[in-house]
Amino acid sequence: MAGNTLRFKTNYAVSSKIEPFYKGGKVQISRDEKYIFCTCGPRVNVLQISDGKIVHSIEQDDQEDITSFSLSPDDEILVTASRALLLKQWDWKQEKCTRSWRAIHNVPVASMTFDSTSTLLATGGCDGTIKLWDIVKQYCTHNLKGSSGVVHLVEFHPDISLLQLFSSSLDCAIRIWDLRTSKCICVLESHYSAVTSLAFSPDGHTLISSGRDKICTVWDLVQRKEKRTVPVYEAVEGVVILSANEDYSQLGVKSKDLHFITAGSKGVLRVWESSTARCVFTQTLPSAPVSSPEQTDGDPLSLVYCLPLPLSNRLATITAEHNILLYQLPLLSVQQQFVGYSDDILDVRFLGKEDTHIVVATNSSQLKVFELATSSCQILYGHTDTVLSLDVFRKLSMFASCAKDKSLRVWRMDPETGHVHCVAQGHGHSNAVGSISCSRLKKAFLASGSQDCTIKVWDLPDDLPAVGEEPAQLVTRITEKAHDKDVNSVAISPNDKVLASGSQDRTAKLWSLTDMSLLGVFRGHRRGIWCVQFSPVDQVLATASADGSVKLWGLHDFSCLKTFEGHDASVLKIIFVSRGTQLVSGGSDGLVKLWTIKTNECVKTFDAHQDKVWALHGSSKDDLMVTGSADSNIAIWKDISEEELVELQAKQEDQILKKQELSNLLHEKKYLKALGIAISLDQPHTVLKVIKEIRQDEEGPQQLEKTLLRLRQDQKESVLRYCAVWNTNARSCLDAQAVLQVLLTHLSPDDLLQFQGARTHLEGLIPYTERHVQRITRLLQSSMFLDYMWQKMRVTGAKDSGELQGEEMDASPQGIFILDKQSEQANTTHAAQQQEEEKDDDDDDDDENKAPDSDEEEEEESISTSKSANRQAGKAVGTNGVENRGRISSEESSDEEDVMEISTSKSTVPTPCVMTDAR
């Protein structure tokens, strides 16, 4: 089955990830047009336009969502506003917060913008107020009141000498504020719905506003009047004015009049002439579905932002599905596409002869093809509903897709350009098509399984259309009613002779592809089957089920050969690797597991996803696999079995040598080098061991101080990080505090804050330090109480407390606690005789005669009570004679337990002594 040289896979590592970087909200492009800034929850991600990589991620410490942000025109300052009502100023290139202050707004900030000089910042709040901030001098300069509701739009007039600010709120009006007088000098009313964007002409005399009321308004800012209303017949989200210095004749611009581009709910760009209110150009999307020439409002293709890139004469649009598209003017040709958020990943496949691309099906009607080397993406339009499954024709650089729209499509990728286009489509199912499988040999056909419980086999035409031609129609060869419930998975065998299907009815079936006759049924799963796969070398079928198990079946007798159990939830996808000797499974628990078939052993469990792993596929060379999850993440895994083995052996040898050297250095008291080696191992326990050795030295504090101060800054950062860990444990907290004492004594706060993660580590140290202080305080209080009681108590029959003053009390436990019964009786008799003598001697004083009598009564009463209690205690504790010590807090140290041992242990005391208050 497998050659002798075959090595089992033991481990995979994530070599790259495609993660969501934009989940809605504001988008801004830097002035130099190199970076795109966009929000993603508590982060502002900075995307490099040239390669599509995330180069910076500005994250809030409090993990509060960012409500708005603004980048200064000089590309130096980034200011963010969060739900915590804080404004933060960032050096975004260093990912460092340089300043934070209260926003003064009573509710979150909804909008903000810089003026052209990068010195004034305007913030519009949800409380209807606008505040202006001097970024250089760091104070609030204006508080503008008068807007009604949320101020969702603020813009400075491009001519800063005018000192004018434009704003819009829920009343749909545009207000002009004079910053010299802090008053609203004009209200422009024309829109009946939210104003979405403002665009100023180059001379600053004309303003164009767009709104969701399906109109654009041209304003004369000199006379502050409405010049013209342009009906655009769609909700407009963005407007951009075209430059008069460029040739836009290809966009229908024939005159020198002001022209502008609108982007809105219909998903296409339109060019309008402001003087005539006429549309001179409408963009066509060649890859859009042909069946819907007029898209309706709310379409997923709708555009939510339109941003100009004047330096490169480009245009950026952001779609409702969080895709960012860059168009080159004047042709409006798509130059780059970035996918900000993919929602649930439902299926993914490697594509291309060298697996250079992956095609992804998400919870969307669009398909996305990523080039792995550059992360650039193509967005494919064709289906009208969610795409559910994919499969590839490996030898033809083609793949097939099926969707909820009851159709399936075949796509071909040009191996030279990487461009993908649809070459065939098929309709015939009466319900959503949930699974598809392509032929494995050169003869091209495919099979599909649907929620209508049928399986169809389709023939692919010999001559496929070229780019720009209409897709060919797939012809159904045969249709079979296969199951009683939804068909979740179909798979064609490696020799193209048989077909397997898995259904929600808990069964898998084997069919002949020649006439779709039933060959056998696989029964054994307790719940529906999500995936079926043929072994590439053996006559074996693998099935994955919602019962959390994977089963292997023999194709000859349809018996269950093996069962693999380990997932805590449904197993959604499986593939064979290592020439059919191993399996990889992905489940609803977010885990990916590697199994060895021969031993039924789960070799490794990979945890890289936070939600269901719907997608799983292996590369043709068997060295990579790709997984996709409902958490919107796509992970590319690399087989590192051999590399890891070599690295692990080298690492182990290196660690053994370092530990031996560390032991020698500690023996020679070369603490600095020993501590350096321990830090290089990145093992906090080893570093703690070295710290303990240093502190046990005769000159421990001096040696510790001398050693720590000679460390490099990166080593001090590591030690500070380790201290945060040590301080959580009562056994190692003293060592952590000793290290912290040296660092805090000899390093200034500014130096400490330069350490990476210093703020987080120091904040983590505070609660545990307070807890240790409280514990030690309680221990000191307890010991002081015991000391006080020790000084104020005497043994029955001993000298009077007045006679003991100034004498040193014998602290020996034997003289106090160890008494037998005879000595107890003798002491009692002796005490009675002594009290009788005292009574005779002090006959003349009635008051003094009464005191010993009362003491005697108390002592006798105490003795009898104590004996009775001891008899009951002896019955309770049993033969060992040790009392229950009660509940002792886990935080109390062994010293505290020793103190309690003295006062409560009765293992050597048959009858305890009686102690009374020495009054």
**How many CB atoms within 10 Å of residue 749?**
10
Long-range (24+ apart) CB contacts under 8 A made by 735-741 are 735/688, 735/691, 735/692, 735/695, 736/765, 737/769, 737/772, 738/691, 738/695, 738/701, 738/704, 739/691, 739/704, 739/708, 740/765
Residue that finishes a domain, picked among 775, 810, 832: 775
Residue that finishes a domain, picked among 732, 751, 775: 775
> Six-digit token pair at 466?
């070229």
Its domain, for residue 735, covers 647-775
Q: Is the pLDDT of residue 154 over 80?
A: yes
Alpha carbon distance 399, 382 (integer Å): 14
Element (H, E) at 884: none
- Given a contact cutoff of 8 angstroms between Cβ atoms, the answer to whether 45 and 56 are in contact is yes
Q: What is the pLDDT of residue 797?
A: 54
Rounded average pLDDT over 556-570: 93
The mean pLDDT value of the chain amounts to: 82
Closest by Cα among 126, 115, 213 to 166: 115
Residue 25 lies in a domain: no
User: Could you report the per-residue pLDDT of 648-686, keeping only the tens digit for each?
Assistant: 667 767 777 777 777 777 777 777 777 887 787 777 777
Alpha carbon distance 496, 477 (integer Å): 15
Query: Which residue's entry shows tokens 């259904």?
Result: 503
The CATH number of the domain where 332 resides is what?
2.130.10.10
Query: Which residue's entry shows tokens 């692919």?
Result: 460
Q: What is the pLDDT of residue 286?
A: 59
Rounded average pLDDT over 6-34: 89
Q: How confident is the model at residue 330 (pLDDT cuts 50, 70, 90)?
A: confident
For residues 777 and 918, the model is more confident at 777
Q: Is the pLDDT of residue 812 over 80?
A: no
Q: Is the pLDDT of residue 287 over 70?
A: no
Alpha carbon distance 576, 1 (integer Å): 14
Q: What is the pLDDT of residue 300?
A: 67
Residue 240 lies in a domain: yes
Name the amino acid, one letter, at 171: D
Q: What is the pLDDT of residue 369?
A: 93
Alpha carbon distance 494, 477 (integer Å): 20
- Given a contact cutoff of 8 angstroms between Cβ atoms, the answer to whether 140 and 131 are in contact is yes
Q: How confident is the model at residue 588 (pLDDT cuts 50, 70, 90)?
A: very high
Identify each DSSP E strand in 381-486 by its residue range: 387-393, 398-403, 407-413, 420-427, 433-438, 445-450, 454-459, 472-473, 475-481
Q: What is the pLDDT of residue 779?
A: 87
Residue 599 lies in a domain: no
> Six-digit token pair at 432?
């959503």
> Six-digit token pair at 191?
């829109």
Q: What are phi and psi of 599, to 5 degrees?
A: -105, 0
Specify the number of domains making up the chain. Answer: 2
Residue 160 lies in a domain: no
- Given a contact cutoff of 8 angstroms between Cβ atoms, the answer to whether 583 and 597 are in contact is yes
**How many CB atoms within 10 Å of residue 675?**
26
Residue that finishes a domain, picked among 775, 798, 825: 775
> Six-digit token pair at 399?
């793949």
What is the bridge-based pairing of β-strands 472-473 and 420-427?
Answer: parallel
C-alpha torsion sign, points 61, 63, 68, 70: positive
What percent of the chain clears pLDDT 70, i.e. is strictly above it? 83
Q: Is it true that the peptide bond before 330 is cis, omega within 30 degrees of 0? A: yes
Cβ contacts of residue 788 below 8 Å, gap of 6+? none
Residue 200 lies in a domain: yes
User: Could you report the per-residue pLDDT of 599-627, keeping only the tens digit for each?
Assistant: 999 999 999 899 999 999 999 888 899 99
Between the alpha carbon of residue 257 and those of residues 239, 260, 311, 778, the distances in Å are 16, 10, 22, 84
Name the amino acid, one letter, at 831: A
Q: What is the pLDDT of residue 187?
A: 94
User: Could you report the per-residue pLDDT of 337-379, keeping only the tens digit for each?
Assistant: 899 988 899 999 999 888 889 999 998 888 999 988 877 888 9
Q: What is the pLDDT of residue 798?
A: 53
- Given a contact cutoff of 8 angstroms between Cβ atoms, the answer to whether 460 and 474 are in contact is yes
> Six-digit token pair at 430?
């009466």
> Six-digit token pair at 336?
């780059």
For residues 155 and 801, the model is more confident at 155
Q: What is the pLDDT of residue 647?
A: 67
Cβ contacts of residue 484 below 8 Å, gap of 6+? 453, 503, 505
Identify each DSSP E strand in 296-332 by its residue range: 303-309, 314-319, 323-328
758-792 vs 894-904: helix axis angle to the nearest 10? 20
Q: Is 320 exposed, middle or buried (0-12, 13-18, 19+ CB in 10 A)?
A: middle
Full DSSP string of 477-497 = EEEEE--SS-EEEEEE-TTSS
Q: How confident is the model at residue 2 (pLDDT cuts 50, 70, 90)?
A: very low
Between the alpha carbon of residue 251 and those of residues 214, 279, 335, 614, 706, the distances in Å are 22, 10, 17, 44, 74
> Six-digit token pair at 751?
């130096």
For residues 708 and 502, the model is more confident at 502
**How many CB atoms within 10 Å of residue 448?**
28
Q: Is the pLDDT of residue 435 over 60?
A: yes
Q: Is the pLDDT of residue 568 over 50?
A: yes
User: Could you report the per-residue pLDDT of 849-903, keeping only the tens digit for each?
Assistant: 333 344 444 444 443 444 344 444 344 334 333 333 333 333 334 444 443 443 3
The number of residues making up the chain comes to 919
Closest by Cα among 294, 288, 173, 284 to 233: 294
Cβ contacts of residue 823 below 8 Å, gap of 6+? none
Alpha carbon distance 426, 413 (integer Å): 19
601-606 sheet: strands from edge to edge: 571-577, 582-587, 592-596, 601-606
Q: What is the pLDDT of residue 652?
A: 66
Alpha carbon distance, N-terminus to C-terminus of the chain: 95
> Six-digit token pair at 145?
């009141």
Name the amino acid, one letter, at 477: R
Number of H helices, E strands in the chain: 13, 59
Q: What is the pLDDT of residue 677?
A: 79
- Lowest-pLDDT choice from 134-138, 263-267, 703-707: 703-707
Cβ contacts of residue 298 below 8 Å, gap of 6+? 265
pTM over 0.85: no
**How many CB atoms within 10 Å of residue 868?**
10
Between the alpha carbon of residue 289 and those of residues 479, 834, 899, the distances in Å are 27, 115, 83
User: Could you report the per-residue pLDDT of 743-770, keeping only the tens digit for each?
Assistant: 888 888 888 777 877 777 777 788 888 8
Alpha carbon distance 793, 812 (integer Å): 15
User: Could you report the per-residue pLDDT of 441-469, keeping only the tens digit for each?
Assistant: 877 899 999 999 999 999 988 888 888 78
Q: Where are the alpha helices (DSSP H) in 606-640?
A: none
Residue 740 lies in a domain: yes
Alpha carbon distance 740, 723 (integer Å): 8
Q: Is the pLDDT of residue 787 over 60?
A: yes
Residue 651 lies in a domain: yes
Q: What is the pLDDT of residue 809?
A: 44
Residue 258 lies in a domain: yes
